[in-house]
């Protein structure tokens, strides 16, 4: 037979057999070398010396087959993990001695150093020289091994969880009786043992659930879906107390599809329900007043509109702002302000029906949602009642205050068809009430909307103005009592291509409202810092540059770093810069505001309190804040010349500030009489049109050069005249 496989010239019949043999050899060779694993023949020696290795060796170990043949580069003993070498050698020898094949599971170390799990199968055979050799196949079973390990771990973990479960586990019958329960369920329902629970709770629907028909609902969901998830119910415990539970259960059936029982788990969610109710209240109600907040208000407006449309009546959305609330809040403190808000909220609530809503929108702003009105006169009567209640005196810290309210009204359907438009139009009408003297109500009209549109146009023009560099900086000098210029305040100016010249009293609040104040501040400060580097010493001392920081911008996390960066770019020393703030920066987060000031001070900046005297709480700040300068507001300067009481207040303020070692600057000085009076009171620095109006950078340099940094007395007289 063997000779038949060898091609010879004498046997043309053998050629097909030889061809088939060659083809079969190629097929087998291809199969062996492409198997996902390694076929091998090795000696039964200490190194497992390989005599044949398939090409799968590289995919398995990272070594070429030639590396293992006759241990040319590495032996299989080397590749075998040290922890497994002795064991697998013993198992192979035992199999050989018993005369049967072997199956091994062990680890190898690949050429890259990775540890892989393999399965090796083989048998001892005699080779052509009658030498014992091992022939077999080794495959990578790392993934299978890891999967089996994970399954074993999961099974162990499941058993432990089941045995020590903190959740209740149950099986119940279709009729509503417990068939089995674990100790955790018994404890949850107030029983000593599971047997006590099973014996006592023979009717789950009647004895367990607080809400009747709850078990029936459970069974309907089971019939429809075969399971229930997060089935939340209030239940009775054995002692009659109530808890909330969440059930997850499924319907168990046998192989024929016949019902066996319901089984599942029970979790006590009483605390979670309480927390959710609390979170829901926090999300929908104002913490201070207990009124609905803006979220709940918006949720209620939609259904109220739908109801009004069905019933053919109209509803009113009323935006309310308390007049001069900030004055009381600043003078008496936040606690008194909060007390006032609570009192006003209670009064408003007492003026409306159960179907209406009183909401706190923000700060001292409230919104009324008045439903089911058929005549405008009934809305007016409602508003008059609210206004009358708000106007009643309020006792705060032993003093009585009379409050007012500006109210704007938008009606559905004529003023808006949705919550957004109604609130917007009511807000517009509220601003109209303020402009008409406050403490009144105004109904929305299209003309009022035009005013709101003008505000929107201003905001749009401001964005365009920033893009087109329409904003500029002017500089107003500060002088000492000898009329020598000692410092300069940088002021922003805006000449709009579409709106003309717009005053700071208009564009600064709009910039704060639209979020553009940051970009405007950066431009003003960068330009001012650069300009100040061009000013030489005056009377032997460097001029200080005062710049204003908006309260809206002050608490930004990166404000200190940003301002310091702009200053560093200019090369101006921080000791020449004075940052002007108003007391409003301390209203939201005084501790944070103080830490920001301290950070600026640590870098060398000076700090000034601007508009001092406009808020009654300013006095308390002077002792605690790291201030260098206090600027008395122009409103006091204007009145002190003709009002002795105001003059005494101004004198007291100057004295107080000097005693606290603060530099005092008087703003808005416009005539020599004011200047003389302030000098007599001990004021040290002055600013106002008496000395100089805000000047462009070139005009300021000219002024500094023209009089060696002083304002001549004759010029003051000429300006006043």
Q: What does the pLDDT look like over 535-582, one tens digit per residue?
A: 988 888 899 999 999 988 887 888 999 999 999 999 999 999 999 998
> Which residue pairs from 103-109 have beta carbons closer than 8 angstroms and sit at least 24 positions apart in sequence?
105/141, 105/145, 106/80, 106/81, 107/80, 107/81, 107/83, 108/60, 108/61, 108/79, 108/80, 108/81, 109/79, 109/80, 109/81
In this predicted structure, the answer to whether residue 248 has a pLDDT above a threshold of 80 is yes
Does residue 471 lie within any of the structural domains?
A: no
113 within some domain: yes
Q: How many domains does the chain have?
A: 4
Average confidence (pLDDT) over 100-113 = 96
Domain check: are 59 and 104 in the same one? yes
Q: Give me the phi and psi of 581, to 5 degrees please.
A: -130, 165
Q: How far is CA 304 from CA 286, 428, 703, in A?
A: 21, 21, 66
Task: Please give the helix or strand (H or E) that residue 243 lies within, else none.
Answer: strand 242-253
DSSP bridge partners of 43: 133
Give the alpha-carbon dihedral of 211, 216, 217, 222, to 10 degrees.
Answer: 150
Quick one: pLDDT at residue 9?
43
Do 302 and 377 belong to one domain?
yes
15 pLDDT higher than 70: no
Whose tokens are 């006043």? That residue is 720
Residue 122: inside a domain, yes or no?
Answer: yes
Please, which pLDDT band fits residue 446 given cuts at 50, 70 and 90? confident
pLDDT at 650: 85
Cα within 13 Å of Cα(216), Cβ side: 5
Any bridge partners for residue 487, and if so which? 478, 544
What phi and psi, each to the nearest 5 degrees, are found at residue 592?
-65, -40
Classify 401 as helix, strand or coil. strand
pLDDT tens per residue, range 596-606: 999 999 999 99
181 shares a domain with 136 = no
pLDDT tens-digit readout, 201-219: 988 988 999 999 999 999 9
DSSP classification of residue 69? B
Report residue 153 CA to chain centroid gap: 39
* Rg of the Cα atoms in the chain: 45
| Same-domain pairing of 540 and 643 | yes
Judged by average pLDDT, the poorest of 173-187, 250-264, 625-639, 700-714 is 700-714
> What pLDDT band is residue 523 in, cutting at 50, 70 and 90?
very high
Sole residue written with tokens 């009606």? 411
Average pLDDT for 254-262: 93
Coil, strand, or helix at residue 142? Answer: helix
Angle, helices 517-532 vs 559-570, to 10°: value is 30
Residue 50, token pair as written in the block: 């390989």
Q: Give the CATH number, domain containing residue 72.
A: 3.30.450.20
DSSP assignment of 357-395: EEEEEETTEEEEEEEEE-SHHHHHHHHHHHHHHHTS-EE
Residue 157 covered by a domain: no
Residue 97 has pLDDT above 80, yes or no: yes
Q: Which of 274, 303, 319 is the last residue of a domain?
A: 274
Q: Which residue shows structure tokens 């068939």? A: 179
Residue 17 has pLDDT above 70, yes or no: no
User: Which residue, 255, 274, 293, sits at the end of a domain?
Assistant: 274
Any idea which of 13-27, 201-215, 311-325, 520-534 has the lowest mean pLDDT? 13-27
The confidence band for 43, taking pLDDT boundaries of 50, 70 and 90, is: very high
Q: Does residue 280 belong to any structural domain of this protein?
A: no
pLDDT score for 234: 96
DSSP class per residue in 548-584: E--HHHHT-TTHHHHHHHHHHHHT--GGGEEEEE-GG
Q: E-assigned strands of 185-240?
A: 227-236
What pLDDT does residue 22 have?
Answer: 56
- Interaxial angle between packed helices 294-311 and 419-435, expressed in degrees from 0 to 180 and rounded to the nearest 10: 110
Tell me how long the chain is.
721
Per-position b or e across 625-638, b if 16+ CB within 10 A of its CB: bebbbbbbbbebbb
Q: Bigger pLDDT: 252 or 11?
A: 252
Domain end position, chosen among 254, 274, 294: 274
Do 243 and 301 lie in one domain? The reply is no
Find the angle CA(372)-CA(374)-CA(380) to the nearest 5 degrees.
90
Q: Provide, rounded to the nearest whole percent, the portion of the chain with pLDDT above 90.
A: 64
- We report the CATH number of the domain holding residue 298 as 3.30.70.270
d(CA 489, CA 477): 6
Q: In whole angstroms, how far apart are CA 462 and each of 214, 448, 490, 493, 554?
A: 62, 22, 20, 12, 21
Q: What is the dihedral of CA 453, 455, 459, 460, to 10 degrees?
A: 30
Does residue 528 register a pLDDT over 80?
Answer: yes
Task: Convert the pLDDT of each residue in 310-324 to its tens digit.
Answer: 988 889 999 999 988
Residues 561 and 703 in one domain: yes
Instruction: Compute how many other C-beta atoms are within 10 angstroms of the C-beta atom of residue 184.
Output: 20
pLDDT of residue 652: 87
pLDDT value, residue 83: 96
State the average pLDDT for the chain.
Answer: 88
Bond from prior residue into 299 cis (ω within 30 degrees of 0): no
Same domain, 484 and 617: yes
- Which strand (E) or helix (H) includes residue 411? strand 404-412
Q: Are residues 262 and 356 in the same domain?
A: no
State whether 268 and 291 are in the same domain.
no
Q: How confident is the model at residue 520 (pLDDT cuts 50, 70, 90)?
A: very high
DSSP state of 96: H
| Secondary structure string (H, E, C) spanning 264-318 | EEEEECHHHHHHHHHHHHHHHECCCCCCECHHHHHHHHHHHHHHHHHHCCEEEEE
Compute the average pLDDT of residues 498-503. 91
Domain that holds residue 526: 477-491+522-720
pTM higher than 0.75, yes or no? Answer: no
How much is the pLDDT for 431? 87
Over range 456-464, report the average pLDDT.
88
67-96 residue pLDDT tens:
999 999 999 999 999 999 999 999 999 999
Q: Rounded to 5 degrees, what angle do the CA atoms 555, 557, 561 make?
A: 110
- Residue 80 and residue 170 in one domain: no
Whether residues 309 and 344 fall in one domain = yes
96 in the same domain as 193: no
- The pLDDT assigned to 653 comes to 86
């Amino acid at each position: 037979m063997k000779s038949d496989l060898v091609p010879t010239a004498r046997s043309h019949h053998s050629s097909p057999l030889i061809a088939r043999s060659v083809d079969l050899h190629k097929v087998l060779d291809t199969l062996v070398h492409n198997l996902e694993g390694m076929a091998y023949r090795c000696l039964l020696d200490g190194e497992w010396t390989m005599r044949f290795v398939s090409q799968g060796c590289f995919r398995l170990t990272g070594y070429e087959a030639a590396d293992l043949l006759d241990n040319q580069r590495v032996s299989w003993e080397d590749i075998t993990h040290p922890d497994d070498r002795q064991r697998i050698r013993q198992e192979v020898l035992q199999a050989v001695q018993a005369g049967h094949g072997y199956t091994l599971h062990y680890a190898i170390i690949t050429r890259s150093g990775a540890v892989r799990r393999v399965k090796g199968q083989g048998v001892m055979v005699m080779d052509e020289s009658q030498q014992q050799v091992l022939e077999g196949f080794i495959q990578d079973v790392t993934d299978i091994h890891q999967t089996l390990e994970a399954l074993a771990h999961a099974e162990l973990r499941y058993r432990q969880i089941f045995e020590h479960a903190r959740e209740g586990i149950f099986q119940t019958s279709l009729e509503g009786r417990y068939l089995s329960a674990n100790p955790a369920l018994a404890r949850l329902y107030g029983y000593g043992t599971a047997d006590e629970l099973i014996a006592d709770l023979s009717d789950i629907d009647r004895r367990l659930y607080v809400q009747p028909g709850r078990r029936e609902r459970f069974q309907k969901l089971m019939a429809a879906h075969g399971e229930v998830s997060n089935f939340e119910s209030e239940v009775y415990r054995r002692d009659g107390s109530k808890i909330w539970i969440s059930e997850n259960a499924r319907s168990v059936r046998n192989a024929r599809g016949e019902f066996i029982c319901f089984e599942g788990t029970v979790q006590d969610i009483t605390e979670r329900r309480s927390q959710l109710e609390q979170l829901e209240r926090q999300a929908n109600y104002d913490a201070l007043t207990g009124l609905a907040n803006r979220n709940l208000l918006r949720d209620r407006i939609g259904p109220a509109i739908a109801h009004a449309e069905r019933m053919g009546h109209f509803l009113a959305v009323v935006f309310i702002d308390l007049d001069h609330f900030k004055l009381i809040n600043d003078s008496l403190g936040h606690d008194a302000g909060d007390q006032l808000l609570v009192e006003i909220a209670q009064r408003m609530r007492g003026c409306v029906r159960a179907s209406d809503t009183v909401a706190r929108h923000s700060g001292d702003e409230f919104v009324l949602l008045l439903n089911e009105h058929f005549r405008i006169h009934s809305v007016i009567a409602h508003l008059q009642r609210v206004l009358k209640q708000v106007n009643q005196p309020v006792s705060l810290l032993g003093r009585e205050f009379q409050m007012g309210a500006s109210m704007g009204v938008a009606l559905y359907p004529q003023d808006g068809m949705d919550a957004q438009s109604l609130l917007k139009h009511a807000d517009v009408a509220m601003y109209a009430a303020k402009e008409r003297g406050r403490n009144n109500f105004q109904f929305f009209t299209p003309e009022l909307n035009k005013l709101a549109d003008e505000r929107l146009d201003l905001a749009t023009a401001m964005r365009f103005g920033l893009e087109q560099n329409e904003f500029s900086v002017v500089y107003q000098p500060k002088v000492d009592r000898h009329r020598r210029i000692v410092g300069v305040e940088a002021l922003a100016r805006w000449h709009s291509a579409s709106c003309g010249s717009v005053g700071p009293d208009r564009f600064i609040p709009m910039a704060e409202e639209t979020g553009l104040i940051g970009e405007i501040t950066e431009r003003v400060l960068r330009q001012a810092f650069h300009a100040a580097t061009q000013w030489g010493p005056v009377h032997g001392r460097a001029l200080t540059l005062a710049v204003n920081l908006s309260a809206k911008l002050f608490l930004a996390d990166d404000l200190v770093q940003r301002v310091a960066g702009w200053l560093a770019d200019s090369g101006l020393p921080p000791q020449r810069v004075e940052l002007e703030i108003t007391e409003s920066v301390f209203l939201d987060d005084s501790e944070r505001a103080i830490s920001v000031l301290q950070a600026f001070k640590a870098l060398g900046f000076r700090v000034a309190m601007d508009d001092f005297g406009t808020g009654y709480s300013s006095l308390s700040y002077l002792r605690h804040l790291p201030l260098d300068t206090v600027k008395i507001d122009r409103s006091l300067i204007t009145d002190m010349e003709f009002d002795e009481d105001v003059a005494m207040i101004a004198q007291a303020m100057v004295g107080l500030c000097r005693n606290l070692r603060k530099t005092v600057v008087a703003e808005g000085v416009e005539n020599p009489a004011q200047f003389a009076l302030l000098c007599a009171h001990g004021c040290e620095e002055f600013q106002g049109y008496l000395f100089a109006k805000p000047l462009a950078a070139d005009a300021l340099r000219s002024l500094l050069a023209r009089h060696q940094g002083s304002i001549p007395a004759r010029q003051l007289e000429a300006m006043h005249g």
